Amino acid sequence: MALIHCTACDHRISDMAVACPSCGHPSRPDRRGALNVLGSVAGTYISATTLASLALGVAMFVCTAAVLITLILHSR
Ligand SMILES: [Zn+2]
């Protein structure tokens, strides 16, 4: 991970950042994937790593809930 300069305000930002946290200017449009576009739509400083961990957390919650529901239904 390296620091680059924002093209709009010259603030130093991570090269992994979707947008500049200082001015919100989108960074490195060539690196944008589906996850980064999602982060831009949210209009906040959300990196692809954060979104990936968020998705993993939701998936683990759904799996745990499914196991618990199955156990409860089968115990009757
Ligand atoms: Zn900026």
pLDDT value of residue 70: 95
pLDDT value of residue 45: 63
Q: Using the mean position of ligand 1's atoms as its centre, give its distance from the Cα of residue 12 in Å.
A: 8
Q: Using the mean position of ligand 1's atoms as its centre, give its distance from the Cα of residue 56 in Å.
A: 30
pLDDT in tens, 20-62: 888 888 876 555 565 555 555 555 666 778 888 889 999 999 9
Q: Using the mean position of ligand 1's atoms as its centre, give its distance from the Cα of residue 21 in Å.
A: 7
Q: Using the mean position of ligand 1's atoms as its centre, give its distance from the Cα of residue 45 in Å.
A: 12
CA 70 to chain centre: 31
Q: Using the mean position of ligand 1's atoms as its centre, give its distance from the Cα of residue 13 in Å.
A: 8
pLDDT value of residue 17: 83
Q: Which residues contact 4 (CB under 8 A, 6 or more apart)?
A: 12, 13, 14, 15, 27, 28
Q: For 47, what's the count of Cα atoms within 13 Å in the CB-facing half-sphere?
A: 10
Q: Which two tokens stand for residue 8?
A: 């709009």
Residue type, 9: C
Q: Can you point out the beta strands (E) in the chain?
A: 3-5, 12-14
